[in-house]
Amino acid sequence: MDYIFLMNLKLLFHLTIKFYFYFYLNNLKEMQIKYLFTSIVKNSVIFRNVKIQKNAVVENCIIGDNSIVEEGVHLKNIILEADCRISRDTTLISSPENPMIIS
């Protein structure tokens, strides 16, 4: 009885992972995040309709919906709220313990 239960649990786990992976891929197709391959994005959360232009560096940041990070911008430890625009060649660096919030 325990063996059958474990096999069913394993099958359920496999199907659950498969479903979430499928759900993630479908949502990923719907999201309209645009950043060029010349940009660097590390350890950041990027919401929908965000545009990160070329040569931008975004590290340890949270970028809200409909925001634009223009060319040559360097952001580190920044929380950027929705509908923000960071002008080109701007550098904003904050400490990890006390991140800067831009609205």
State residue 80's pLDDT score: 93
Asked if the model's pLDDT at residue 100 lies above 50, the reply is yes
Asked if the model's pLDDT at residue 25 lies above 80, the reply is no
State residue 94's pLDDT score: 93
Candidates 83, 79, 84; CA nearest to 96 is 79
CB burial of residue 29 (10 Å; 0-12, 13-18, 19+): exposed
What residue spans define the domains of the chain?
1-30, 34-102
Q: What is the pLDDT of residues 65-94, one digit of tens each?
A: 999 999 999 999 999 999 999 999 999 999
Instruction: Give me the architecture of the 34-102 domain, per CATH.
Output: 3 Solenoid (2.160)
Residues 55 and 71 sit within 8 Å (Cβ to Cβ): yes
Of residues 63 and 2, more confidently modeled:
63
